[in-house]
Amino acid sequence: MITEQFPSKLLERAVNEFAKLPGIGRRTALRLVLHLLKQDAKMTDSLADSLKQLRNEVKYCHICHNISDTDTCELCANPRRDASTICVVENIRGVMAIENTGQFHGLYHVLGGVISPMDGVGPSNLELASLVERVRNNSVQEVILALSPTMEGDTTNFYISRQLAGLPVQLTTLARGLSVGDDLEYADEVTLGRSIATRVPLSGIKN
Amino acid sequence: MITEQFPSKLLERAVNEFAKLPGIGRRTALRLVLHLLKQDAKMTDSLADSLKQLRNEVKYCHICHNISDTDTCELCANPRRDASTICVVENIRGVMAIENTGQFHGLYHVLGGVISPMDGVGPSNLELASLVERVRNNSVQEVILALSPTMEGDTTNFYISRQLAGLPVQLTTLARGLSVGDDLEYADEVTLGRSIATRVPLSGIKN
């Protein structure tokens, strides 16, 4: 192990701070810190300042709770987006992933996670009440549940469907099945099984 | 690609800065930045401050050029280290790796890289002149060349051996051969070939 014997306390502290990030081990942290030392000091300042500025000045859209520079995010403020459809995602990465497909023109609702009792995340830790509020007070016609296809995601889907029961809104979820370009023999059994059970008429396939 | 469509300029800037680090792509950068946003602001401040402090206050030992908090590093200042043996390494990671073996009790000399014309690194960019000076002016008996077993490392070894020619100092290099615990059939041919050519008497093997 390369843990002990740092020749400098300053170096050790920087490596320790870097290694707190997920997926960054102490060896990678050392490599990154030594890289910064080799570059111009401006690069380190720029990195450090951008992180502090983001952390201190970050705002969240008061409607969809996405990260934003303004009180209302660009998507929610855009009158050309279809306000009758709300896509529920776990986090901002979900928003970015779906935006990049170019296939969705409605608005989003960022939950901030999924219900996970193991991790101590209950419904009250997520933006669930504000979702119900939003659906109730606006003429929302469809809520698309775009959470991870995991047990926690399914639990959250179920919770949301119960909360929205009785409201005149259609609930849908992302289609599950084979990836485009997937080889049949490498698909896992659960996905393959589900895609047989939920097979669609040939005309329904779009690329 | 997840490159476009950042919902916040602050976020985009932080991700771009992170992604300048080697081995950190934009996707990883986004994951790290979002992780920082979920944590207490103290964590971001602590990371940012430690990087800036290191970059601005870092010192290099005036003898061995290793990173140090003081003008003379702890190793060079330690009277119990054997000053007659100098181990030449590329960078501080070399020092740390060899220190962790506990097998070396001499001093180090950190070159700051190896000669690599492809990357524009010539002898004048490295701490080579100071090495020759150091060997000449002190009663150094052995210089161990512990550079990477690459073409650039070999070139640098050859350059150093020419520079030190005529001085009463023994030049050695790290033994090359099979790794301890290696399986013979998985060793590459060059290493295996060299370890046959440079085979040692059985009594010479130490663990």
Q: Which two tokens stand for residue A3?
A: 């843990």
Taken in order A180, A181, A182, A185, is the CA torsion positive or negative? positive
- At B203, the pLDDT band (50, 70, 90 cuts) reads low
**B100 or A80, which is more confident?**
A80
* pLDDT score of A7: 85
Percentage with pLDDT > 70 across chain A: 96
Q: Torsion angle of alpha carbons A94, A99, A101, A103, nearest 10°?
A: 110
**How many whole angstroms separate alpha carbon B92 and alpha carbon A7?**
8
Lowest-pLDDT range of A43-52, A132-141, A173-182, B104-113:
A173-182
Q: What is the pLDDT of residue B7?
A: 85
Q: Of A25-34, A112-121, B4-13, B143-152, where does mean pLDDT reach its minimum? A: B4-13
Radius of gyration, CA atoms only, chain B: 22
pLDDT of residue B1: 42
Residue B207 has pLDDT above 70, yes or no: no
- Residue A10 to residue B97, Cβ atoms within 8 A: no
Partners of B107 in the beta sheet? B86
- The predicted-structure confidence for A7-24, as pLDDT tens digits, reads as follows 889 999 999 999 999 999
* B179 DSSP 8-state letter: P
Predicted local confidence at residue B15, as pLDDT? 93
- pLDDT value, residue B97: 87
Contact status, residue A140 vs residue A84, Cβ threshold 8 Å: yes
| Predicted pLDDT of residue B125 | 92
Cβ contact, residue pair A44, B37, below 8 Å: no
Higher pLDDT, B104 or A197: B104
User: What number is the average pLDDT over the span A58-68?
Assistant: 93
Q: Which of B5, B21, A109, A75 is nearest to B32 (CA)?
A: B21
pLDDT of residue A205: 53
pLDDT in tens, A156-189: 999 999 999 989 999 998 888 878 777 878 878 8
Question: Does the pTM exceed 0.90?
Answer: no
Mean pLDDT across chain A: 88
Test A47 with B50 for CB contact under 8 angstroms: no
- pLDDT score recorded for residue B149: 85
Q: How far is the C-alpha of A11 from the C-alpha of B60, rounded, in Å?
A: 12
**Binary contact (A93, B30; C-beta < 8 A):** yes
Instruction: Mean pLDDT check: name the lowest of A116-120, B86-90, B188-192.
Output: B188-192
Question: Which value, to the nearest 10 degrees, does the dihedral of the CA atoms of residues B108, B110, B115, B119 take?
Answer: 150
Report residue A59 as tokens: 């705002």
Judging contacts by C-beta atoms under 8 Å, the chain B residues touching residue A14 are 50-51, 53-54
Calculate how close chain A gets to B83, using CA atoms only, in Å. Answer: 18
Q: What pLDDT does residue A1 have? A: 42
Q: Least CB-CB distance to B54: which of A10, A22, A54?
A: A10
Q: Could you tell me if A46 and B17 are in contact, meaning their C-beta atoms sit under 8 angstroms apart?
A: yes
Whether A3 shows a pLDDT value over 60: the answer reads no
Is the pLDDT reported for residue A206 higher than 80?
no
| pLDDT score recorded for residue A76 | 93
Give pLDDT, residue A203.
64
Contact B5 A52 (CB under 8 A): no
pLDDT (average), residues A2-7: 66
The model's pLDDT over B24-45, given as tens digits with 9 standing for 90+, comes to 999 899 999 999 998 899 999 9
Closest-CA distance, A171 to chain B, in angstroms, reads: 26
pLDDT tens track for A85-98: 999 999 998 898 88
